[in-house]
Chains A and B, each alone.
Chain A
Amino acid sequence: MERKLKNFLEECYNAVLEGDKQKAEKLATEAVKSGYDSYLVIEKGLVQGIKKLGEKWEQGSCFLPELVLGAEAVKAGISILQEPILKSKAGRKNLPRVIIGTIEGDIHDIGKTLVATMLSANGFEVIDLGVDVKSDNFVKMAKKYEPRFLCLSSLLTTTMQNEIRVIEGLKKANLRKKLKVMVGGAPASLSWAKEIGADLYAENAISAVKVAQREIGHESKRK
């Protein structure tokens, strides 16, 4: 890798570590103008920065607002760098798609939005359905957008029961085997995921990214 590009990627990495949204936007615009490979800038620059922040957060040495500032910087950069990618059909296919929402009866928003933002900052295409999403709507949107992952968030023991209805709905629509269902939120656990027939469980936003990336790795190996 040429020195100039290496320094440029390091600047992108540092902009994310600093949570500097303006700098990330400026660098992304510069990358597009200079004709740098957008994927390379996202993967080797911006995403490396958010990975580092995620590691620090898991170790307890990063404050949540700093992690979110970093994620916002990545998202801002990606939205500029994605333009040339989205123009090509091939590029569009390369972004793993996620549909996420808080389950019916539950209006908790922040945790789910954090997961959506971290996934988006790590190169996933995220469709956020919002809160209080009916099981039928999850199924309808899964049919329409064909995501790799369907992420269900629930913060209450009463609402998590509605996740069962989403899985039943996916089976009826013959979509169950076409995507992976991930559950998360305070009352959820790995045993809950197994009990209702979900594929994956994530404890927090960083874990959601890791779990999804690990699953993509497994799928690639199987192919």
Chain B
Amino acid sequence: MAKIIKDFQVEVSKQEILRLLGHTSKPEEIKERSKKLVEEMISFSCDLIKPEGIFVIRESRELPEECFFNAEKVALCICTIGKLLEKQVERLTNQEELTRAVILDAIGSVAAESTAEHLNQVIADEAKKKKLYGNTRFSPGYGGWKLEAQRFIFDLLPAEKIGVRLNRSFMMIPRKSVSFATNLSRNPFRDKGSTPCEICGLKKCRFKKRQT
């Protein structure tokens, strides 16, 4: 049975926002004016982020997707930050406040990823109770998993309960939503700890996270 998780806060990392906005050098090198704009939009975004998620844990043998072959169970999840933030991005774009719109959009992306991380942790905690190990989450459209797999996740979860739907191109609405799967196994995964960037097939990406 699907579980809904809501009424939680997510951390929106300023460093991650700056990274998404293409900042590759030291934070002190950002102009004062840009810093203020980022701060202003972070404050503005506080009331616009309403994280929610829904997930279900299923036996992997019941699932048709090949990518679950090395797991006993699979958690499937859809989460969102809601539609308020993107409505504001749209408003700012229409008012030709593109810089603010771009910053707010990046904040929304970071918040959506944080929401997914939170849900993945909830899943890991739940799995632990069943003596199962969790793994890195992966999403349709990334790392070689076809975008069309969205249909499969949405067929298994009543996403409308958290206000998310798919359009005919398998795009989630609201846009700042994440769908993902996490493999669960009785034994620890050998590739545990891989970041989504390490799994992703894109070789040339400005936003690729650097390995530390």
Residues of A close to B24: CB separation below 8 A: 60-61
Of the candidate stretches A2-10, A27-35, A64-72, the one touching chain B is A64-72
**How distant is the Cα of A61 from the Cα of B18 in the complex, in angstroms?**
13
Residues of B close to A72: CB separation below 8 A: 96, 98-99
**How distant is the Cα of A132 from the Cα of B210 in the complex, in angstroms?**
34
Q: Is B90's CB within 8 Å of the partner chain A?
A: yes
* B22-A110 in contact (CB<8A): no
Q: Given A57-B22, A69-B33, A157-B147 in contact, is the A64-B102 Cβ separation under 8 Å?
A: yes
Residues of A close to B147: CB separation below 8 A: 156-158
**How distant is the Cα of A60 from the Cα of B208 in the complex, in angstroms?**
13
Q: Is A146's CB within 8 Å of the partner chain B?
A: no
Q: Is B81's CB within 8 Å of the partner chain A?
A: no
* B170-A156 in contact (CB<8A): yes
Q: List 7 A-B contacts (CB under 8 A).
A: A65-B99, A68-B99, A69-B33, A69-B34, A106-B169, A113-B93, A156-B147
Interface residues of B, Cβ cutoff 8 Å to A: 18, 21-25, 30-31, 33-34, 37-38, 89-90, 93, 96, 98-99, 101-103, 105, 141, 146-148, 167-171, 173, 175, 206
17 further contact pairs, Cβ within 8 A, besides A63-B18, A65-B103, A157-B141: A60-B24, A61-B24, A63-B21, A65-B37, A65-B102, A66-B34, A69-B34, A72-B96, A72-B98, A72-B99, A105-B168, A107-B167, A107-B173, A110-B105, A158-B170, A159-B171, A204-B206
